[in-house]
Amino acid sequence: QIQGGTDATLVVRDMRTGTVCDQLEGVCAVHWTAAGTLLYTVQNDLCRPHRVFEHALGTPRARDACVFAEDHEKIFLDLSRTKDGRWNVVYAQSKTRGG
């Protein structure tokens, strides 16, 4: 479940019990990995997703590893997954014209 606008709070809930298993504030895109961890993006001061972190449920966010970073001010990151589900994909894109 994601609440908010482009900078959201992710709440992971056990659907059998209703218990909140984990909560991450300030995330953008989120994808599960085949290993059962979460990949998520965070925004920079220009409101562009610029870092991808990997999170294991139930662990402190301070332990999350930055697995990809893009510091160019015109580039933003997005997440996807291949159709067969084997690979997570990080897209680096620009919405500006002419450069």
Query: CB under 8 Å to 59, separation ≥6 — which residues?
Result: none
- pLDDT at position 97, please? 61
Pairing of strands 49-55, 8-13: unpaired
pLDDT of residue 83: 92
Residues 6+ apart with CB under 8 A from 83: none
Backbone angles phi, psi at 63, to 5 degrees: -85, -10
The tokens for 39 are: 């990949």
- pLDDT by 10-residue block (mean), the chain, 99 residues: 62 92 91 92 89 95 96 91 91 74
- Output helix, strand, coil percentages for the chain, rounded to the nearest 5: 5, 55, 45
Q: What is the dihedral of CA 59, 92, 87, 36, to 10 degrees?
A: 10
